[in-house]
Structure 1
Amino acid sequence: MENEEIIMGIIMHGGNARSAAMRAMAAAKKANFDEAEELLDISKKELGEAHKVQTNLIQGEARGEKTEVSLLMVHAQDHLMNAMTVRDLAEEIIDMKKIINSLL
């Protein structure tokens, strides 16, 4: 598989993860907590897939296989880290929304 295809996998799965986390927060805003949890699970699975791709690249480099560090690779890593942050924040925000709703 070409490096660009591998990198695009990180971007695609990271984007899917971020999107699912954003949709989870929107569902929680409407008090649809079951849907929010399902979307968080989807986000977690997508992050897992992106992380697998990233881990394969890291393991290859540890074996001496050089990976070209391109602007696209930097973008993919940025995309993945952004998705991870959004998902972590989504979990916290959804938990707070549940607490707020329980007090009403």
Structure 2
Amino acid sequence: MNEMNQEQLQEIMGLIIYAGNAKSDAMEAIQAAKKGEFELAEEKIKLAEESLVQAHQAQTKLLTAEANGEEFKVNLLTIHSQDHLMTSITFTDLAKEVIDVYKRVS
């Protein structure tokens, strides 16, 4: 089987990094809301969403290359990157709801 090329590896690592950043910012947003710091919570959610956009861009590059016939080797790292992205999207969506609850309670 062919090895993953350097560009594919960079996109996959970018996906993992940006998704991780999004999840971290979403967690920090929840912590800020828990303290009543809603402006900071909203800033952190915005950062999380920006990281998700960057992760999606990396994912789109990979999908486009494959759709254009570029050979792509699916391996554990690839699966991990997709799992990381989906988890981060879900976590960010949930963080928004948690922040809303904290706002209503305060």
**TM norm. shorter chain > 0.5:** yes
Alignment match, 1:21: 26
Q: Which segments of 5 or more consecutive residues in structure 2 lack a partner in the other structure? A: none
Unaligned runs of 5+ in 1: none
Indicate the residue corresponding to 2:70 in structure 1: 65
State the aligned residue count. 101
2:45 to 40, 48, 57: 40
Amino acid at match of 2:96: E
Q: Share of identical aligned residues, percent?
A: 46
Match of 2:92 among 72, 87, 92: 87
Q: Distance in 2 between matches of 1:52 and 1:18?
A: 17
Q: How does the TM-score come out when normalised to structure 2?
A: 0.92
Q: Give TM-score, length-normalised by structure 1.
A: 0.94
1:4 aligns with 2:4: no
Range that drifts further, 1-10 or 17-26: 1-10
In the TM superposition, structure 1's runs of 4+ consecutive aligned residues that sit over 4 Å from their partners are none
